[in-house]
Amino acid sequence: MTKTTAKTGRAVPAPSAAPGLVVDYAPSIESDKIVTIAPRQQLYIGGQWVKPVEGRYFQTTNPATLAPLSEIAEAGAADVDAAVRAAKRAYDRTWSKLSGRERGRYLFRIARLIQERARELAVLETLDNGKPIRETRDVDIPLVAAHFFYYAGWADKLGYALPGVKLAPLGVAGQIIPWNFPLLMAAWKIAPALACGNTVVLKPAEQTPLTALKLIEIFEAAGLPPGVVNIVTGAGATGAALTAHPLVRKVAFTGSTEVGKTIARSVAGSGKKLTLELGGKSAHLIFADAAIDQAVEGVVNGIFFNQGHVCCAGSRLLIEESVAERVLDKLRTRMQKLRVGNPLDKNTDIGAINSTAELEKIRRLVETGKQEGARYYEPENITLPAKGNFLRPCLFSDVASSHTICRVEVFGPVLAASTFRTPAEAIAKANDTPYGLAAGIWSEKGSKVHAVAAQLRAGVIWANTYNKFDPTAPFGGYGESGYGREGGRHGLLPYLEVVP
């Protein structure tokens, strides 16, 4: 049993641990022997591994051990230019000349190869990102394959996506992705671009470049023509050079709202198509008639698994007042049983925070939360590994709408809870954010779910579940969560234009 005293001096009663339910698991470590990581990796341009012109490299590390994994080439403006030109050549000479059926065959082949090498990709993603193997194995990589399968199916049916008009690809797509779902974001970007007949220059996040580089082996095994996909690794300046390149016709970006705004400014007036998938501060709404245990599990899944490194994480919790104490008590009890540690252990619920900088940012925001007076709880029974970027999950309750932790995207395992008395109040509080990416509604009453969903300003709304993804469903946000949709039929349109 744990007793935690809030910083504010108000004691948070220790939830009663359910005896007999706490199970100790023996470690079950996934072997990393299946993966080979080259000590130094180059840029992939025009079907060749190329050294960066300026000769600069940076390191990617394993956030769970802080051990270096590989040295990665840093692309400068000249390298980005070469990559974009290679993509343009491939577009003009090969990719735009293929029929949709032929493009689809490449994509189907890629999807099958991803499935064949799923275990290897899952381990590599876990090593570079720090997220639990259970997530990469059961969520990320299956979804990566599913996205390629799904868009492979569309490649020869584009006329049905927007019937009655003639569609054409755009040319070169410049795509920039973040570190939280490295391979899944690469798939979300590359699969629809290729299906529609575009070629690609992709810039992975500097913290997690390894799986995108591994994907090249799969593209080569699938026989993808040189230059159709190019990878330029690097940091923000590399991304900026890519978005600014005049031959890039379409920019797709997933990342922070701040960088998204910079990119929007930089492409303004250029005629480039732009989609932005940005941050979020998504809310769960738990009504008194909800299946409470199911809701608690959904909330835990929505914010604590994956270390809260999810753009659509359910980071705000709104609970109907009459059941609030019950929900919070169950939540605290559940949090005590979360396993934080080695991401390669198949029992791990919460892995490593992706970088030391991110860990410090989360800690700062937690301190602010305590100072601003919300009730604080963390399961102190959880022992953290001595080394690596680990953090206990935590729960703030009695949170006011004005509190920083209720307004700012923490991007960590930090949940901010408050209460409501009427559906109207729940909706008003849920919408009281500049973001609008996702929401979760928990109620056994279908009519209430529909009525509430219709009034929430969020791109994705889950009912009695959370964080469920499907390539057939469009994903995207309102407000500062960005614009444009990825996934589904909607995800094709940003990569096509209507022609006479």
Annotated catalytic residues are 277, 311
Binding residues for ligand NAP, how many (CB under 6 A)?
30
Using the rule CB under 5 A, is 433 a contact of Mg ion? no
Number of other CB atoms surrounding residue 313 within 10 Å: 30
Using the rule CB under 6 A, is 211 a contact of ligand NAP? no
CA distance 396 to 373: 9
Using the rule CB under 6 A, is 311 a contact of ligand NAP? yes
Cα-based distances in Å from 276 to 146, 175, 209, 241, 257: 22, 10, 20, 17, 9
Using the rule CB under 6 A, is 262 a contact of ligand NAP? yes
DSSP annotation string for 135-171: HIIIIIHHHHHHHHHHHHHHTT-HHHHSTTSEEEE-S
**Residue of the chain from 81, 128, 140, 320 that contacts Mg ion (CB under 5 A):** 128
Q: What 3-state DSSP class applies to 60?
A: strand
Which residues, 51 to 110, sit near ligand NAP by CB under 6 A?
Answer: none
Number of other CB atoms surrounding residue 28 within 10 Å: 11
Q: Give whichever of 180 and 418 is closer to ligand NAP, judged by the CB atom.
A: 180
Give the x-and-dash track for 200-219 against Mg ion (CB under 5 A).
-------x------------
Using the rule CB under 6 A, is 236 a contact of ligand NAP? yes
CA distance 483 to 202: 20
Using the rule CB under 6 A, is 255 a contact of ligand NAP? yes
* Tokens read off for 481: 């969560």
419 binds, among Mg ion, ligand NAP, none (CB under 5 to 8 A by kind): none
CA distance 97 to 304: 47
Q: Determine the residue type at 122.
A: A
**Residue of the chain from 206, 349, 378, 398 that contacts ligand NAP (CB under 6 A):** 206
Give the x-and-dash track for 157-196 against Mg ion (CB under 5 A).
----------------------------------------
Q: Give whichever of 110 and 176 is closer to ligand NAP, judged by the CB atom.
A: 176
Using the rule CB under 5 A, is 81 a contact of Mg ion? no
Using the rule CB under 5 A, is 307 a contact of Mg ion? no
DSSP state of 384: P
Q: Applying CB under 6 A, which part among 39-47, 93-101, 238-246, 365-373 lies near ligand NAP?
A: 238-246
Q: Give whichever of 128 and 398 is closer to Mg ion, judged by the CB atom.
A: 128
Q: Give whichever of 127 and 427 is closer to Mg ion, judged by the CB atom.
A: 127
Query: Going by C-beta distance under 8 Å and a sequence separation of 6 or more, which residues neighbour residue 97?
Result: none
**Residue of the chain from 94, 256, 381, 464 that contacts ligand NAP (CB under 6 A):** 256
DSSP state of 27: P
Which residues, 7 to 66, sit near Mg ion by CB under 5 A?
Answer: 60
Using the rule CB under 6 A, is 259 a contact of ligand NAP? yes
Query: What value, to the nearest 5°, has the Cα angle with vertex 447 and ends 478 and 483?
Result: 10
Which residues, 432 to 491, sit near ligand NAP by CB under 6 A?
Answer: 437, 477, 481-482
DSSP annotation string for 268-300: TTTT-EEEEE-----EEEE-TTS-HHHHHHHHH
* Contact (Cβ atoms closer than 8 angstroms) between residue 139 and residue 472: no
- Cα dihedral 414/415/418/422 (nearest 10): 150
- Cα dihedral 465/469/474/476 (nearest 10): 80
Cα-based distances in Å from 205 to 178, 209, 236: 5, 6, 9
CA distance 473 to 478: 16
Count Cα neighbours of 144 within 13 Å in the Cβ-side half-sphere.
29
In the complex, what is the shortest distance from the CB of residue 74 to ligand NAP, in angstroms, rounded to a whole number? 9
**Residue of the chain from 179, 305, 420, 495 that contacts ligand NAP (CB under 6 A):** 179
In the complex, what is the shortest distance from the CB of residue 240 to ligand NAP, in angstroms, rounded to a whole number? 4
Q: Applying CB under 6 A, which part among 147-155, 259-267, 371-379, 388-396 lies near ligand NAP?
A: 259-267
In the complex, what is the shortest distance from the CB of residue 399 to ligand NAP, in angstroms, rounded to a whole number? 20
Residue (of 53, 107, 46) closest to 75 by Cα position? 53
In the complex, what is the shortest distance from the CB of residue 166 to ligand NAP, in angstroms, rounded to a whole number? 31
Q: Give whichever of 88 and 189 is closer to ligand NAP, judged by the CB atom.
A: 189
Q: What 3-state DSSP class applies to 117?
A: coil
Using the rule CB under 6 A, is 344 a contact of ligand NAP? no
Cα-based distances in Å from 438 to 41, 186, 293, 492: 37, 21, 21, 21
In the complex, what is the shortest distance from the CB of residue 304 to ligand NAP, in angstroms, rounded to a whole number? 16
Q: Applying CB under 6 A, which part among 65-73, 191-199, 224-232, 277-285 lies near ligand NAP?
A: 277-285
In the complex, what is the shortest distance from the CB of residue 311 to Mg ion, in angstroms, rounded to a whole number? 18
Cα-based distances in Å from 375 to 285, 286, 363, 419, 477: 19, 19, 16, 13, 30
Using the rule CB under 6 A, is 389 a contact of ligand NAP? no
Using the rule CB under 6 A, is 492 a contact of ligand NAP? no
Using the rule CB under 6 A, is 125 a contact of ligand NAP? no
**Binding residues for ligand NAP (CB under 6 A):** 176-180, 203, 205-206, 235-236, 239-240, 243, 254-256, 259, 262-263, 277-280, 311, 409, 411, 437, 477, 481-482
Residues near Mg ion (CB under 5 A) are: 60, 128, 207
